[in-house]
């Protein structure tokens, strides 16, 4: 695939609309999603087309995060939510899209194949439109470190976004894995976009009892059990699990916009990713907005 490289100093949107449909990973319903161009400084907004009796617009900003249980969920002050936004946001981050309206007819982004690759492809087809105002980056000024139980995360100054993700699972099919990347459009496509979400077989029943993973299947997730990958096609990468956690981290970080900093996580997930953002943005001297 030949990728067109874009300037990341100016704001951007898409040139044409882009549509995708599929089953929700957790809710199990069939969902339709449509992305539309947005004006300069419009930001990223989800618009719930199935809601007409109250505010149906959910802004993608850190204060909109309302749940981090097995996925990232955003909500507005009217209580309208949209969940499992992280894979789509990671694809938007890769293209440097700042302004876009995302219409959706349910409360969860479709899982498609469990990765960001389907979103990447439709965004690429929609083409990127550079806009007239400079991008605003979050520049990390001082290290911020947090821990939750035996997991931890740290973000510190750098001249670019760098991600260093380590996971550690008792399940032998996963084990200890690490993945490092300074993401750009090309290496996101080649190394991260197609990495799929995953679950342990023993956890599936308990997740469904909690109203989660009702749409999960071998077509949209890697399932492991007793040291084996149950998907007949196997893994897309030897360390696909760590790569997917890196994808999730990239999407979760983009809730706050483009970041310039070095991020290290150990045994991370949506809860840890969000806690790191809360710690970073909760102290005014640890970051500042800049233009490139």
Residues labelled as active-site residues: 270
What would you report as the CA-atom Rg of the chain, rounded to the nearest whole angstrom? 18
Q: Which residues contact 207 (CB under 8 A, 6 or more apart)?
A: 70, 199, 213, 216
Are 232 and 44 in contact by the 8 Å Cβ rule? The answer is: no
Tell me the backbone φ, ψ of residue 43, rounded to 5 degrees: 75, -175
The region that residue 115 occupies, defined by phi over 0 for left and psi between -120 and 50 for alpha, beta otherwise, is beta
Are 100 and 11 in contact by the 8 Å Cβ rule? The answer is: no
Closest CA to 44 of 86, 3, 106: 86
Q: How far is CA 95 from the centre of its chain?
A: 13
164 DSSP β-pair partners: 180, 264
């Amino acid at each position: 695939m030949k990728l067109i490289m874009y300037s990341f100093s100016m704001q951007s949107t898409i040139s044409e609309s882009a549509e995708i449909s599929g089953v929700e990973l957790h809710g199990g319903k069939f969902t339709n999603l449509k992305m539309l161009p947005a004006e300069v400084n419009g930001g990223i907004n989800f618009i719930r087309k199935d809601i007409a009796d109250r505010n149906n617009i959910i802004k993608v900003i850190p204060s909109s995060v309302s749940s981090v249980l097995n996925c990232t969920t955003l909500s507005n002050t009217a209580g309208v939510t949209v969940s499992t936004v992280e894979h789509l946001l990671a694809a938007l981050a890769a293209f440097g899209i700042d302004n876009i309206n995302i219409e959706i007819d349910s409360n969860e982004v479709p899982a498609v194949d469990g990765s960001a690759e389907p979103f990447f492809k439709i965004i690429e087809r929609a083409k990127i439109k550079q806009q007239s105002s400079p991008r605003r980056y979050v520049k990390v000024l001082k290290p911020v470190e947090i821990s939750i139980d035996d997991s931890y995360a740290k973000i510190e100054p750098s001249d670019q976004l760098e991600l260093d993700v380590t996971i550690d699972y008792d399940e032998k099919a996963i084990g200890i894995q690490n993945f490092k990347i300074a993401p750009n459009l090309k290496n996101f496509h080649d190394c991260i976009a197609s990495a799929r979400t995953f679950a342990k077989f023993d956890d599936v029943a308990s997740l469904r009892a909690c109203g989660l993973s009702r749409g999960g299947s071998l077509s949209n997730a890697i399932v492991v059990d007793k040291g084996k990958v149950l998907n007949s096609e196997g893994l897309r990468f030897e360390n696909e699990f760590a790569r997917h956690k890196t994808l999730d981290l990239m999407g979760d970080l983009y809730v706050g916009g483009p970041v310039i900093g070095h991020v290290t996580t150990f045994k991370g997930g949506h809860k840890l990713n969000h806690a790191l953002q809360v710690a970073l943005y909760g102290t005014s001297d640890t970051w500042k907005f800049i233009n490139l």
